[in-house]
Copies of this chain bind each other. A is one copy, B any other.
Amino acid sequence: MEERIDRIKKQLHIAGYKLTPQRESTVRVLLENETDHLSAEDVYLLVKDKSPEIGLATVYRTLELLTELTIVDKINFGDGVSRYDLRHEGAQHFHHHLICISCGAVDEIHENLISDAEKVVEERYGFKIKDHRLTFHGICHRCQDKE
């Protein structure tokens, strides 16, 4: 936890930014809820519990900054809000998501499922890949068991 905060602090400094108390609170909330997919509002409410003076705009600005530095990834599951997901330590690729259309759960897949696809895209389409988004929509194993 503390090492990860430290590393993020360094990343900010290198880019010319400070890890202010508000930014640190925001980062901590993201770290403590790493498997969730929090919206800016979600983050704001959680940060507010511990630092009630924080403003929503600051949370938005912090999330934008973290996105720029690829510390978090901004994702959109099509429900009208952006969600923010910490990029995993040393992961060169953004993980994939399984969205259950029955219960709404969002599960993560951390193994790389598309290295073959990437090869095709780079070689056959001459496209230099920097990032990707892969999301499956369907029925999760829990909802299938219920039936």
Contact = CB atoms under 8 A, between A and B. Distances in A.
Nearest to A82: B78
Given A120-B113, A121-B109, A134 B137 contact: no
Interface residues on A, range: 35 or more
A141 B125 contact: yes
Contact of A135 (B98, B109, B113, B132): B132
A141 B128 CA distance: 8
Interface in A107-144: 107, 109, 111, 113-114, 116-118, 120-121, 125-141, 144
A57 to B, nearest CB: 17
Nearest to A116: B116
B129 A136 contact: yes
Copies of chain A in the complex: 2
Contacts of A126: 140-141, 144
Given A74-B78, A78-B74, A117 B128 contact: no
Contacts of A101: 130
A118 to B, nearest CB: 8
A33 interface: no
A115 to B, nearest CB: 10
Q: Which of A101, A125, A128, A139 has the most CB of B within 10 A?
A: A128
Given A126-B141, A134-B134, 9 more contacts: A76-B76, A78-B82, A113-B117, A114-B134, A126-B144, A127-B136, A130-B137, A130-B138, A134-B135
